Structure 1
Amino acid sequence: MDHDDFDQEPIRGLPQMLPDGERILWQGAPSAWALARDALRLRWVAGYFMLFFGWNTVSMAAEMSWGRAAAESSFFLVLGLACCALLGAIAWAQARSTVYTVTDRRVIMRIGAALTLTMQFPYKWVGAADLVTRADGTGTIALRTLGETRFSYLMLWPHARPWRFARTQPALRCIPEAARVARLIAEAAGAAATLPVIAEEPALKGAVPMPAE
Structure 2
Amino acid sequence: MPHDDFAFEPVRGLPERPPLGEEILWQGAPSWWRLAVEALSLYWVAGYFVAFAAWRAIVAAEFMPVWDAVRVASPFLVMGAACCLILMLIAIIQAKATVYTITNRRVAMRIGAALTITLNLPYKWISDASLDLRRGGTGTIALTTTGETRFSYINTWPHVRPWRMRHTEPALRCIPGAANVAKLLSEAAEAEVFQPQVARVTDPSPTIVAAE
Q: TM-score range by the shorter chain?
A: over 0.9
How is 1:100-179 mapped onto 2 (pairs within 5 angstroms)? Answer: 100-179=100-179
Which residue is 1:83 aligned to? 83
Task: Give the TM-score, by structure 2 length.
Answer: 0.92
CA distance in 1, matches of 2:198, 2:113: 38
Deviation string, structure 1 residues 161-187 (Cα, Å, up to 9, x no partner): 000011100000000001110000100
Deviation at 1:52, TM superposition (A): 0.2
**Identity value in percent:** 58
Deviation string, structure 1 residues 28-79 (Cα, Å, up to 9, x no partner): 0000000001100100000000000100000000001111101111111010
Unmatched tracts of structure 2, length 5 or more: 205-212
Task: Give the TM-score, by structure 1 length.
Answer: 0.92
Deviation string, structure 1 residues 87-143 (Cα, Å, up to 9, x no partner): 001000000000000001110000000000011111111111010011111100000
Deviation string, structure 1 residues 177-210 (Cα, Å, up to 9, x no partner): 0111000010001100122446899xxxxxxx99
Structure 1 residues 66 and 191, CA, compared in 2 at 3 Å: closer, same or farther? same
Would you say how many aligned residue pairs link Structure 1 and Structure 2? 203
CA distance in 2, matches of 1:35, 1:200: 48
Over aligned residues, Cα RMSD in angstroms? 1.7
Q: Does 1:3 align with 2:3?
A: yes
Which is worse superposed, 142-151 or 105-114? 142-151
Which residue is 1:66 aligned to? 66
The answer on whether the counterparts of 2:125 and 2:149 sit within 8 Å (CA) in structure 1 is no
Q: What letter corresponds to residue 145 of structure 1 in structure 2?
A: T
Structure 1 residues 200 and 14, CA, compared in 2 at 3 Å: closer, same or farther? farther
Structure 1 residues 200 and 86, CA, compared in 2 at 3 Å: closer, same or farther? farther
How is 1:5-24 mapped onto 2 (pairs within 5 angstroms)? Answer: 5-24=5-24
CA distance in 2, matches of 1:86, 1:198: 55
SS at match of 1:63: coil
